[in-house]
Amino acid sequence: MADRISTRDRLIDAATSLFATGGYHAIGVSRILEEAGVSRVGLYHHFRSKEELILAVLRRRDEVTRNLIMREVEQASHQPAERLLALFAFLERYVGQPDFTGCMFLNAAAEYHDENHPIHRMATEHKRMMLSFIEKQCGLLGADDPHLLAHQIYMLFDGAIVQIHAAGDAAKRTEAAREATAALLGAAVPAQ
């Protein structure tokens, strides 16, 4: 017998798809309930509000995306420089998918722009954890300033996402970001 998907998971799955394509504010609770095939009582049994559902969506997206990126990058090589460049190979595959709709965390931060709002803080926390992972690789690389280098690389990574979302051409934009990262790596590592 196939496993049944829980009501909570159906709500999160439906909301993830709808928020990714329609935005957080534009998608109403009724649309989520219709897509998930769940009653309003079922929704409020699991989530006290739409915002709590958004937080659950972002938590799941963070866990899945960050783990996928880290696993793929770490498996790409034992060399930190190659791992950092592998970020862009991952990115090209991820954003090159036909259903790519941008970064849910950048979109959440834009729609919930108050820095004290829990949704904005969740988006910021995802970005902070990604930056921390990149900074760890920069430290292993032996960069003179791993913190600065990590910020520069992550700006290229996120910038590529924004450019691809706005203008397309994933291959060209990820290659440009990868080449800029390679130049940064060459300049940041002390001469041996």
Q: Could you tell me the pTM of the whole model?
A: 0.89
Rounded CA separation 129/31 (Å) = 32
Distances in Å between the Cα of 9 and the Cα atoms of 16, 30, 189 are: 10, 17, 45
Q: Among 187, 153, 152, 156, which Cα is nearest to 174's?
A: 156
Using CB atoms within 10 Å of the CB of residue 75, give its burial: 0 to 12 exposed, 13 to 18 middle, 19+ buried. Answer: exposed
Give me the tens of pLDDT residue by residue for the chain, a chain 192 residues long.
334 779 999 999 999 999 999 999 999 999 999 999 999 999 999 999 999 999 999 999 999 999 999 999 999 999 999 999 999 999 998 887 877 888 999 999 999 999 999 999 999 999 999 999 999 999 999 998 999 999 999 999 999 999 988 888 888 999 999 999 999 999 987 665
What one-character-per-residue DSSP string does 130-176 give?
HHHHHHHHHHHHT-S-HHHHHHHHHHHHHHHHHHHHHH--HHHHHHH
Q: Which domains does the chain have, with CATH numbers?
A: 56-188 (1.10.357.10)
Q: Give CA–CA dist 103/96, Å, rounded.
A: 13
Residue with tokens 């706005």: 166
